[in-house]
Amino acid sequence: MTSFSDQPQSGFARGSLNGSSGSSRTLFNNVMNGVIFACGILALLPLLLVLSYLLIKGFSSLSLNLFIQLPPAPLDTDGGFGNAIVGTAFMVGIGALISVPVGVAAAVYLTEFSKGQTARWIRFATNVLSGVPSIIAGVVTYGILVAPFGGYSAIAGGVALSILMLPIIVRTTDEALQLVSDDLRQAAVGIGATDYQKVLQVVLPAALPSIVTGITLSVARAAGETAPLLFTALFSFYWVRSLTEPTASLAVLVYNFAISFDQNQQSVGWAASLILVLLVLIASIIARFVTRSK
């Protein structure tokens, strides 16, 4: 028989084991929380470094005159990037006018009308297109629009940007439409709506916030692209007079002035870099606001 004096000892030992196991689990949990937190900080560190460096270098060169003046020539003491802002807006707008209707319509076809193997092949092609380097889009557009017609233009630049924007819009819209509840679709059919009425009046409005977010992401990527515009729109030191002429853009201006020997051009390039990042940030905030309001 087990004596009375042995029972408390066994209970104490068992409690010690449980306490030791619990403390080790707590220690492991705390260590992993610390590792995850450190990884989160490391993920944000590059963004913080880029923003802080741009703020330091860009704000020191920023002035209102930069927004209304033309880019400076070497050894000039003044200048700005007003034409580059206008040119960027024109080319991104052309890219959006091409890619947004095509991308949204393609995603609607994939989700609502296409089934089986066809949809899988189209999604595969979209994924491949999203991984194509941006310079390839510029080279292809150069071979199709620039070389045959003998001139760089804002239209060619917008077409090159639309190639980069299209897969982002298709993928985000496709995923957004798939997240719409089938109950909404069945309810629309139940009240006598046709397929196109169901899509236009029920499915698309329900997925609109995510679609707007995808469009904003595509615009942000297009606004910061340099390589496609070097092959299609090139650059100009003058205001935009025609969409069929070489056109300035913020990204190409930053590229040109970053490697310049002239200090004034370098300072203008830093200010343009800051403005480009702020434009992308403002677009993201607007997309967040639209998503939140919906």
Q: Which pair of structure tokens corresponds to residue 107?
A: 């995603």
What's this model's pTM, rounded to 2 decimal places?
0.83
pLDDT digits (tens, 9 = 90+) for 26-77: 888 999 999 999 999 999 998 888 888 888 888 888 888 899 999 998 888 8
pLDDT digits (tens, 9 = 90+) for 99-127: 999 999 999 999 988 877 888 898 999 99
Separation in Å, CA 204 to CA 11, 68, 90, 181, 212: 65, 40, 27, 12, 11
The Cα–Cα gap between 245 and 241 comes to: 8
The Cα–Cα gap between 180 and 182 comes to: 6
Task: Fill in the amino acid letter for 249.
Answer: S
Q: Which pair of structure tokens corresponds to residue 158?
A: 């917008």
